[in-house]
A and B are shown apart, each in its own frame.
Chain A
Amino acid sequence: MQTVKINDITPNDLPWKIQWEPCACKMCGSCVAACTFGAIEVGVEGRGYTWSEGVTPTPKDDERYSIPVIKQVSDIKHHCVGCGMCEKICPNRAIRPVRNQDNRWNMINRVGGDMPKRGGRANLNADDRTLDKIVVGRISQMTDPALDAQRHTFDIRAPFGRILPAEQLPLSVDPATGEMKMKSNIPPVHWIYPLIFSDMSVGALSTRAWEAICLATAYLNDECGMPVRMCSGEGGLPVRLMRSKYLKYMFLQIASGHFGWNRIIKAMPEMIEDPAGIIIKIGQGAKPGDGGLLMAAKVAPHVQALRGVPKSDLLSPPNHQGLYSIEESVQKMFLSLNAAFKFRVPVAIKTAATASSVSIYNNLLRDPYNIVGGYLLDGVQGGTGAANEISLDHTGHPVVSKLRDCYNAAVAQGRQGQIPLWAGGGVGMTGNAAADAFKMICLGANGVFMSKLLLQLMGCVGNDHGRCNACNTGLCPAGLTTQEKKLVQRLDIDKAAQNIVDYMLSFDQEMRKLMAPIGNSSLPVGRSDALVSIDRDVADKLAIQYSC
């Protein structure tokens, strides 16, 4: 007689069920040894029957035996996240996680009153993306001259920094020589690759994962001639990097927790290069209203050192504690961070896309002191780190129309292009970042930023349909979002970096393949005429051609 009570947790309550085929299993123990979540274990199951002899019911001896089995652990803490490492390692492919549609996860995952958390993926409207309803519909055929993606040269560069309109350039002509001269300094602008490796912190990522992205960035710059920039995230930077020439490829981030800035400031005298820029992070598109969240399991000694805090759950406040208004943000944050590097380094700001994004951008556009180097708009479909599910699932704002609104607001004032507009949050969600980037650029972005795809390129098995998403646990099976050395060691830093490089080389060619047919050899910022939508509402909202 089994003893199971109705409130006992069993695998059919959990989001993933383990499917195991005893006939194919040789009990090598690999799956259980490899599972970082402790979601499977070995058990013993009895088997038995009484057999009947002949053609009438004639009970003979009982057959009773028991066998070792692989079984799913039925508790909430060790629930299977569907990462599939068991399937990956199994020599006989005898085991795999299977999505459990009828789970009761949302009802049981609040033990002790704790809010459900997961590694940050929105998992929201993942199959219904605005960008997928837009196609590059203006293809030069017999009218406009198309370009050849292979043979033509393309200027795939985007500004990061304050662009002064021509009439404001402090130019003068030397009456003696007739030469044109600059009367005063102009704000720094870097023309960089239109895709930024977006902010994931030291701490959120393993040392190897973070370094692999750095390494890929350096390689793309030095070996491939692609001026890609990487944002540090809000966890500081290792001092060795700050002392190196590669600092010039890095954006420093300052966010509400201000983690890591002590060492950044202390390293200034030793810097041989300026950083590429500074990004003030106000909010994050995937979980606006929620600050950064680094679970204690990942606050390893080096993270504690870089951030200057002891081991504990690290929550960045949802707002910068010292800021109460847009004006104050501009004055305090922009001015101080411009001054930090003597006005040589452009400073941009990142907010979550929000109903009030246009107001923010309008305010930034005034910029009387020429210190606003860019506005990064982060949409709801991004997210990489740990987050409360309530924030992930139910806060945020889609980025596409908001980007368009901001761009059009600038156009209305004739100020487009002065404060570079960058958009992110779900770029590359379906695997093709170039298509997303191109469409965003046509809608008005100068460039895009992305991070989630970087994790996937490095080996992350998570997706936007609830697979894995366990970045918050510190048990990342790919060694990406963990500080447990045994798991970090799973990550091949060279391979991870190479995958990013390969993707970016392809990205670059794919961008050309989209730029060529519309006949643009530089980025088609705001060329919304190149786009059509197969969805009437999307077309109307974005003011692009509707086609069907």
Chain B
Amino acid sequence: MSFYIKTVEGNQRQSTQALLQQIYAAMENGEREFVIDACGQHDIGGPLWSADGNLEFTVNNPGQRVGSMAMAGTTIIVEGSASADTGWLNAGGEIIVKGDSGDTTAHCAAAGKIFVGGRVGTRSGSLMKHDPAYDAPEFWVLKNTGSFSFEFMGGGTAVVCGIDSEEFDSVLGDRACVGMVGGTVYYRGKASGISPATKIMDLDDADKKFLAEGMPGFLKKIGREDVLNELLDMSAWKKVVAKTYQERMKSKSNKKGMNNFRMGDWVQGGIFGDIFPDDGKVVNMINRADARLRVPEWLNSMFMAPCEAGCPAGIPSQTRFNLLRQGNVEDAYRLILEYTPFPGSVCGSVCPNLCMEACTRCMIDSAANIKGLGRMSTFVNVTLPAIDSNHKIAVIGSGVGGLTAAWLLRLRGFDVTVFEKDDVVGGKLVNAVSRERLETKTIEAEIDRIKNSGIKFELNTCVDKQKLDQLEKEFDYVILAIGAYQPKLPPWEGKEKIASYLDFLKQVNAGKRPAVGKKVVVIGCGNSGMDVVFGAYACGAEQVTAIDIQQPAAFKNEIEHAERLGAKLIWPAFTDKITDKGILLKDGRLLEADTVFCCIGEAPILNPILPEKETDRGYLKVGEDFRLSDKVFAIGDMTKLGLLVAAIGAARETSMRITAECRNEVFAPRPRIRIPHERLSLGYFSAVDTTEAVEKPEQDFNRCISCGTCRDCEMCLRTCPEHAITRVVSAEKGTFEYVSDPDLCIGCGICAGVCPCGIWTMRDNPTPEGK
């Protein structure tokens, strides 16, 4: 006997809560079957249970959520239609709606069965689930669903029979099964808009069996057995199942690959293919061969060492030290004779050694002992070639410049004659430079080396204009190197009292003791002035004073030597006049003097020999090539007062030029490019005790950096990370070189970085245009 509840009395409607409370109370009284004439009350049917048996509700006109959270053992029969959310969260109940059911029917149902004899609304079946501990939920619909059906369905089975739905485009509504991850939806008839992320399949035997077995019961419950045969025509059915997780992941990454798109669909050959050749290769950040960003080059001896560049004669001392390092002492000593015949007298004695001033080693401790190394070549001799009398060269003047030119031309085998107005050879180096600065045995040895070389000397021969014209005819080339012998004397009152210091020094150097007074004043504190100071003391002077209008220009060590001898240097001191008492300065001071010398320079005596030549402040004007005419060159002090080594440099260049012309060769002097300091790696070198270097210059190759010239240390070869560098020896030439294999080299520049000498150089390696 059912428990009947009528929810409307007169115009009084029972609230949902009152109805539910009435049901609970009845259940307490043992009621199990209910017939409810509802009036839109919600939540009828669940979650309710009884230990004594099943519950059954027969409901008319329910509100929303009929059978929501219904439990196993509960049956709910809705005689007509139901509102929204029928069977929401159904946990096992059997819910039969004979008419239509509203939106979200069977929403989140995870167990039990829901049968609808009409249509269901939108989002029906969404989020259905299947708890594997229980039977899967079932959701049977006779007609069709609204849109968004079975969204996010996670499990269970739905059957949409499609009866009486021909007017719709889709029995599942639009956008069915979006986000579906599990379960099965059977449908019959037209359907569209089903999520493409699902699979729409034909039925297999198990599906057919499920439908065939379930269909009669479903139709019976809703009272529509009349359509059984129609629905058992399995050919009209399809099913929607979710893709598996693996299938979904696969389809997500199943987009056409970019490479496929580019090769297949895109403009063939690329949009720039006609104007920018591109093989499409993707390269590493590091490459070999042509693809390197930078490539190494072994630029041995391309740059001058600072010593070489600093020396007016361009003497490559780094090469001499390298020869010493290789143990080739003879060649090391001999090499300098290709540049000067005065390694001992000039380089080793009187030269201010601009080479050492420039020496890179100064940045570490002190310059390599190039001066000392010069002295090592004083007594060295060379094998001279036979004289070829086809080329005859006249040198006028036997000073440093003339003798150097004569020597270097003799080394090339030319027939050289030196004309000298004096009776001795050597010019100022022999006659004027103090022997306190230049040892007699040194200068004598070097003069002898020249004299014994086969050069002809004509002494006591004054060359004037007429003689020059004659020589030009007799000789292929004439080199003028007559020096400067006219002392400069300002127009002071009493200047006739000034003694000739050149005569004085010449006598001193000749071993005589020319008379000087007890008090001597020397005007001019250059090196010549100091030479006179030394000579004056040597000849018995008691007090020597040297004056200058400016800071003394003599080398520091010369000044120190003069002061050690007792000389006083006074500057600035402006001479007013020379009297019998001495020199009266413009400030009124009187410097008492028995003898006065004036050493403020000399001018060349050009008139007798070159009466018409252009001069500049008394000196002969020559071009940069020292050339006066096709055949005549002029070098040395007659063109400009300068260091001895400057005259040597001019002589060397002139001799090379003449040599080239005689041999029809191109005169190609070594470019005077001093190696930039940044190219060197000085990290190897530390300051050391230089005592030994001073004593043994031939050992100083250890300190020489060998700037710009390979010292053959093999650092590059050993550090190259790709083993790209090899040392290649030419047996024929007796030379070596380091070679980097482009097929191994990555262009890292370690070779350049570790090269102490700045030989390896990284060159940018841009792609040539159009390649």
Listed in ascending order, the chain A residues whose CB lies under 8 Å from chain B are 1, 3, 27-30, 32-34, 36, 38, 41-46, 48, 64, 66, 68-69, 85, 88-89, 150-151, 207-208, 210-211, 214-215, 218-219, 222-224, 238-241, 244, 246, 300-302, 305-306, 477, 484-486, 488-495, 497-498, 501
CB–CB B255/A492 < 8 A: no
CB–CB B283/A151 < 8 A: no
| A207 to B746 alpha-carbon distance, docked (Å) | 25
| Chain A nearest Cβ from B186, distance in angstroms | 23
CB–CB B686/A30 < 8 A: no
CB–CB A240/B273 < 8 A: yes
CB-CB < 8 A to A238: which residues of B?
A: 271-272, 274-275
Assuming the A-B contacts A28-B721, A42-B748, A215-B262, are A33 and B293 also in contact, with contact meaning beta carbons closer than 8 angstroms in the complex? Answer: yes
Assuming the A-B contacts A30-B748, A89-B285, A238-B272, are A68 and B753 also in contact, with contact meaning beta carbons closer than 8 angstroms in the complex? Answer: yes
Chain B residue nearest in CB terms to A214: B271
CB–CB A33/B681 < 8 A: no
CB–CB A44/B681 < 8 A: yes
Q: Which of B258, B267, B750 has the most CB of A within 10 A?
A: B258
CB-CB < 8 A to A34: which residues of B?
A: 285-286, 293
Is B735 an interface residue when CB atoms closer than 8 A count as contact?
no
CB–CB B749/A33 < 8 A: yes
Chain B residue nearest in CB terms to A498: B258
CB–CB B766/A494 < 8 A: no
CB-CB < 8 A to A214: which residues of B?
A: 271
CB-CB < 8 A to B175: which residues of A?
A: 151
CB–CB A151/B179 < 8 A: yes
| A302 to B277 alpha-carbon distance, docked (Å) | 10
Q: Which of B278, B293, B363, B749 contacts A488 (CB 8 A)?
A: B278
| Chain A nearest Cβ from B602, distance in angstroms | 39
21 pairs of residues in contact across A and B, judged by CB atoms under 8 Å: A1-B364, A29-B722, A32-B750, A33-B746, A33-B748, A34-B293, A42-B753, A43-B681, A44-B756, A207-B278, A211-B270, A215-B258, A215-B266, A219-B258, A223-B255, A223-B256, A238-B272, A485-B771, A486-B767, A488-B278, A491-B282
CB–CB A45/B683 < 8 A: yes
| A27 to B764 alpha-carbon distance, docked (Å) | 21
| A223 to B722 alpha-carbon distance, docked (Å) | 46
CB–CB A489/B282 < 8 A: yes
CB–CB B767/A48 < 8 A: no
CB-CB < 8 A to A27: which residues of B?
A: 719, 721, 750
| A302 to B283 alpha-carbon distance, docked (Å) | 21
Assuming the A-B contacts A33-B293, A44-B681, are A486 and B283 also in contact, with contact meaning beta carbons closer than 8 angstroms in the complex? Answer: yes
9 interchain residue pairs of minimum CB distance: A42-B753, A29-B748, A44-B683, A33-B748, A302-B275, A485-B767, A44-B681, A241-B271, A494-B258
Is B245 an interface residue when CB atoms closer than 8 A count as contact?
no
CB-CB < 8 A to B258: which residues of A?
A: 215, 219, 494-495, 497-498, 501
CB–CB B683/A43 < 8 A: yes
CB–CB A305/B275 < 8 A: yes
CB-CB < 8 A to A3: which residues of B?
A: 363
Assuming the A-B contacts A208-B278, A492-B282, A501-B258, are A46 and B684 also in contact, with contact meaning beta carbons closer than 8 angstroms in the complex? Answer: yes
Is B13 an interface residue when CB atoms closer than 8 A count as contact?
no
| A241 to B276 alpha-carbon distance, docked (Å) | 14
CB–CB B285/A88 < 8 A: yes
| Chain A nearest Cβ from B347, distance in angstroms | 26
CB-CB < 8 A to A41: which residues of B?
A: 749, 752-753, 762
| Chain B nearest Cβ from A80, distance in angstroms | 16
Total chain B interface residues with beta-carbon distance under 8 A: 64
List residues of B (257-295) whose CB comes within 8 Å of A's CBs: 257-259, 261-262, 265-267, 269-276, 278, 280-283, 285-287, 291-294
Secondary structure type dominating chain B contacts: loop
Q: Which of A208, A239, A300, A301 contacts B274 (CB 8 A)?
A: A239
Is B136 an interface residue when CB atoms closer than 8 A count as contact?
no
Q: Which of B270, B363, B746, B748 has the most CB of A within 10 A?
A: B748
Is B178 an interface residue when CB atoms closer than 8 A count as contact?
yes
CB–CB B272/A33 < 8 A: no
| Chain B nearest Cβ from A224, distance in angstroms | 8
| A83 to B275 alpha-carbon distance, docked (Å) | 30
CB-CB < 8 A to B267: which residues of A?
A: 240-241, 244, 246
Chain A residue nearest in CB terms to B257: A494
Is B151 an interface residue when CB atoms closer than 8 A count as contact?
yes
| Chain A nearest Cβ from B126, distance in angstroms | 10
Chain B residue nearest in CB terms to A62: B686
CB–CB B285/A44 < 8 A: no
Q: Which of A33, A210, A218, A302 contacts B266 (CB 8 A)?
A: A218
Assuming the A-B contacts A43-B753, A45-B683, A240-B274, are A494 and B262 also in contact, with contact meaning beta carbons closer than 8 angstroms in the complex? Answer: yes
| Chain A nearest Cβ from B689, distance in angstroms | 11
| A498 to B293 alpha-carbon distance, docked (Å) | 28
CB–CB B272/A89 < 8 A: no
Q: Which of B151, B262, B266, B754 contacts A151 (CB 8 A)?
A: B151
CB-CB < 8 A to A240: which residues of B?
A: 267, 269-274
List residues of B (702-750) whose CB comes within 8 Å of A's CBs: 719, 721-722, 746-750
Assuming the A-B contacts A44-B754, A46-B684, A241-B267, are A302 and B272 also in contact, with contact meaning beta carbons closer than 8 angstroms in the complex? Answer: yes
| A488 to B261 alpha-carbon distance, docked (Å) | 21
| A244 to B293 alpha-carbon distance, docked (Å) | 35
CB–CB A29/B721 < 8 A: yes
| A322 to B365 alpha-carbon distance, docked (Å) | 68
CB-CB < 8 A to A484: which residues of B?
A: 766-767
Assuming the A-B contacts A44-B754, A484-B767, are A215 and B721 also in contact, with contact meaning beta carbons closer than 8 angstroms in the complex? Answer: no
CB-CB < 8 A to A44: which residues of B?
A: 681-684, 753-754, 756
CB–CB B749/A32 < 8 A: yes
Given contacts A68-B753, A246-B266, 8 further A-B contacts (CB under 8 A): A30-B286, A42-B750, A68-B719, A151-B179, A223-B255, A244-B271, A488-B278, A490-B283
Is B148 an interface residue when CB atoms closer than 8 A count as contact?
yes
